[in-house]
């Protein structure tokens, strides 16, 4: 495995598929409010911000969790526990991505630049929340929820209610599926004094909490569609997104976690991409 591929694996680059589509929704919502301009360079800067922030967050998570990853049979083959990537090299990678993220926001606009340390504090801080709160899933959701409103601010330089709605959708959606993902480690987390909702509530009630969050996401998708006055194309995408939320809960049972990865990666990856395509289409119809 080459050095580059090791770092791609470290940050689980494929998981960018979760937040990036919503960043594009926020970006094109912003474009819709502005007079016709050339947005190619700005779009590139927004994408780079997403890549740098997420790479910093994931590599920091791996750096901070190295002790636990070594002990957990599910994670002990990751790059840092196996020595494929040295721990201090991972930290340098984190710092480099943080610098590149802040530098990129500088070339977007002042508000993005001023808010960039706050964004980093949230996405990096998540890694320590599981040490002291079962609500760590909500912090992860909050971190990814910055994507649509951040991209909108990059275009417009100000806040607006509709992209905030999409951010809350992301908050509820990501928090919900992270609870499902955490089911795999509930026994390990309990033994090592780590916190999660499956640990606090048990698997059955943890799944119920996830269902409530996804129900809230579905309701907000509907509210955003009504508030935005979108074309019927939006509603087709919204129906698919909500359907995928329901589907992942049909896959996972408290006593049967064999399909957790399908629910986590496949269902949510499809949901975010298809929804974004239809929302962006509706924006310009």
- Which pLDDT score is estimated for 106? 97
CATH of the domain at 58: 1.10.357.140
Q: Work out how many domains the chain is built from and give that number.
A: 1
Kindly report the pTM of this predicted structure.
0.95
Question: Residue 1 has what pLDDT?
Answer: 59
Average pLDDT over every residue of 157-184:
96
Using pLDDT thresholds of 50, 70 and 90, give the confidence band for residue 64: very high
pLDDT band at 49 (very low <50, low <70, confident <90, very high): very high
More confident residue, 255 or 8: 255
Q: Is the pLDDT of residue 38 over 90?
A: no
Q: Which of 38-42, 43-47, 122-126, 278-282 has the lowest mean pLDDT?
A: 38-42
For 242-272, write each residue's pLDDT tens digit.
999 999 999 999 998 888 887 777 888 899 9
Can you give the residue range of the structural domain that contains 184? 3-283
> What's the pLDDT score for residue 9?
74
pLDDT given at position 262:
77
12: left (phi over 0), alpha (psi -120 to 50) or beta: left
Q: Residues 109-113: what's their mean pLDDT?
A: 97
Residue 13 has a pLDDT of: 66
- What is the model's pLDDT at position 244? 95
Question: Could you tell me the pLDDT band of residue 14, with boundaries at 50, 70 and 90?
Answer: low
Interior/surface letters 176-212, b for 16+ CB within 10 angstroms, e for the rest: bbbbbbbbbbbebbeeeebbbbbbbbebeebbbbbbe
> In the prediction, which pLDDT does 36 show?
56
């Amino acid at each position: 495995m080459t050095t580059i591929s090791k770092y791609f694996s470290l940050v689980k680059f494929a998981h960018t598929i979760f937040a990036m589509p919503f960043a594009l929704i926020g970006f094109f919502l912003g474009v819709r409010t502005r007079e016709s301009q050339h947005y190619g360079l700005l779009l590139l800067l927004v994408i780079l911000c997403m890549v740098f922030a997420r790479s910093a967050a994931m590599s920091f998570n791996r750096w901070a969790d190295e002790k636990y990853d070594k002990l957990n049979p599910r994670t002990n083959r990751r790059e840092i526990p196996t020595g494929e990537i040295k721990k201090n090299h991972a930290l340098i990678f984190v710092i480099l991505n943080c610098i590149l993220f802040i530098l990129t926001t500088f070339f977007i606009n002042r508000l993005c630049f001023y808010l960039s340390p706050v964004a980093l504090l949230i996405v990096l801080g998540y890694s320590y929340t599981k040490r002291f709160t079962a609500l760590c899933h909500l912090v992860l959701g909050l971190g990814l929820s910055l994507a649509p409103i951040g991209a909108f601010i990059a275009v417009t330089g100000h806040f607006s209610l509709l992209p905030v709605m999409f951010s809350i959708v992301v908050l509820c959606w990501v928090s919900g599926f992270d609870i499902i993902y955490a089911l795999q480690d509930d026994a390990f987390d309990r033994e090592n004094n780590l916190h999660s909702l499956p640990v606090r509530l048990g698997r059955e009630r943890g799944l119920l909490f996830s269902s409530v969050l996804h129900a809230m996401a579905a309701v907000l998708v509907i509210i955003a569609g009504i508030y935005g006055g979108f074309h019927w194309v939006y509603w087709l995408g919204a129906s698919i997104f909500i359907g995928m939320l329901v589907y992942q809960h049909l896959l996972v049972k408290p006593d049967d976690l064999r399909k957790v990865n399908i629910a986590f990666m496949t269902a949510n990856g499809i949901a975010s991409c298809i929804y974004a395509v239809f929302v962006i289409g509706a924006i310009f119809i």
